[in-house]
Amino acid sequence: MAPSPTRQRLIGYARVSTEEQATDAQLDELKAAGCEVIHQEHGSGASRTRPVLSRLIREISRGEVLVVVRLDRLARSVSHLLEVIETLEEKGAHFKSLRDPIDTSTPQGMFSLQVLGAVAQLERSLISERTKAGVKAAVAKGKRPGNPGLREGRPEAIRKTALARDRVYMGDLLTAANSFLPVVRQMRPDHSWRDVVQVLNARGQRWTDQSLRRAIKRLVSERMAEPELLRKAGRRPPDDRIMTLVAGIAISNPTPTLREIGAQLEGMRERTPRGGREWKASSVKFQLDRARKMGLAVPEIQ
């Protein structure tokens, strides 16, 4: 008899727009679906700041499934939905909506997700076209685009705009934190900001030393990250720096192979201790073995 498949752990997420609304109906559906844990949050659909959701995504484990009753309970837009699902996939987790044909653990659900991706691209194009058309029409009527208060330098308008931008920035940080903060925690302060940025950008992210440091400073000020992450990195001999960099890549990647780590180092244009451009699997393994002897918690990699 074939062994029965391992049951996936379901984690529920319920959100209502105001404090007056109740989550009872969502809780009943999520419990009926088999959710072992349910996280609740109050916040408007347009709000970018959702600390409960951000923490849930940050702490969800490989193989677990984030479950919502409807898509609008999770995301403020199709683009936001795809961003959340992409982050879950990077962590080896899945997503499921009870009332929509989205279940990333099934081929049918992934097909629906691809359709949503096409819709998101269309949505962005339409918004861009409408914005351009609105500006063109305003100019034709003799109106100047933009905020009049900002053009005139009114302090209240400047303050409101700054606060709005800050809320957007913080919301974006909370949404994306689990894609960069774990790597920063694993590498800082043993590595320079440049090394951390190289590892993150090799994964398709877009950081500079300054933008990453600014993000971590903000998270530290909000008590969402540890102050020691901002400590100055000590100077290391070149060989030690390469060893800890290789170890950092291995620790920050859930399932790397020696060759994949080597390819990442080559993509970062990191030379071998002997100055070579090509990183062989044996060279990577040598550095990881050194790191283990130095007491670093490096996983066993083939």
Domain membership of residue 261 (yes or no) is: yes
192 is a catalytic site residue: no
Using the structure block, give the residue that is written with the tokens 């440091």: 213
261 plus 216 within the same structural domain: no
Report the distance separating Cα 269 and Cα 287, nearest Å: 17
- The H or E element containing residue 183 is helix 155-187
For the segment 8-14, the average pLDDT, to the nearest whole number, is 91
| DSSP of 35-104 | -SEEEEEE--TT----HHHHHHHHH--TT-EEEESSGGGT-SSHHHHHHHHHHHHHTT-EEEETTTTEET
Residue 10: per-residue pLDDT: 93
| Range(s) of the domain holding residue 81 | 9-106
CATH number at residue 39: 3.40.50.1390
Report the distance separating Cα 11 and Cα 175, nearest Å: 18
175-226 pLDDT, tens per residue? 778 788 888 887 788 778 887 887 787 667 888 989 999 999 988 988 888 9
Domain end among 198, 230, 262: 230
At residue 77, φ and ψ (nearest 5 deg) are -160, 170
Number of domains in the chain: 3
Most confident residue range from 61-75, 196-210, 237-251, 255-269: 61-75
Report the distance separating Cα 135 and Cα 217, nearest Å: 37
Domain end among 230, 247, 274: 230
25 plus 61 within the same structural domain: yes
For the segment 94-102, the average pLDDT, to the nearest whole number, is 85
| Inter-residue contact 27 to 38 (CB < 8 Å) | yes
The one-letter amino acid code at 230 reads: L
Domain membership of residue 151 (yes or no) is: no
- The H or E element containing residue 13 is strand 10-16
Report the distance separating Cα 281 and Cα 298, nearest Å: 16
For the segment 62-86, the average pLDDT, to the nearest whole number, is 83
31 plus 101 within the same structural domain: yes
Domain end among 82, 106, 130: 106
Domain membership of residue 184 (yes or no) is: yes
Q: How far apart are the first and last CA of the chain?
A: 32
Integer CA distances (angstroms), 285 to 56, 199, 246, in order: 34, 18, 9
Out of 17, 77, 79, 112, pick the active-site residue: 17
Instruction: Determine how β-strand 102-103 pairs with β-strand 94-97.
Output: antiparallel
Percentage helix, strand, coil for the chain under 3-state DSSP, each rounded to 5: 55, 10, 35
Vertex 266, ends 263 and 271: CA angle to 5°? 135
Domain membership of residue 136 (yes or no) is: no
26 plus 95 within the same structural domain: yes
200 plus 245 within the same structural domain: no
At residue 158, φ and ψ (nearest 5 deg) are -65, -40
Q: Residues of the chain with pLDDT > 90: what percent?
A: 11
92 plus 17 within the same structural domain: yes
Nearest to 113, CA basis, from 104, 126, 125, 123:
104
Q: Which strands sit side by side in the sheet containing 10-16, from one edge to the other?
A: 37-42, 10-16, 65-68, 94-97, 102-103
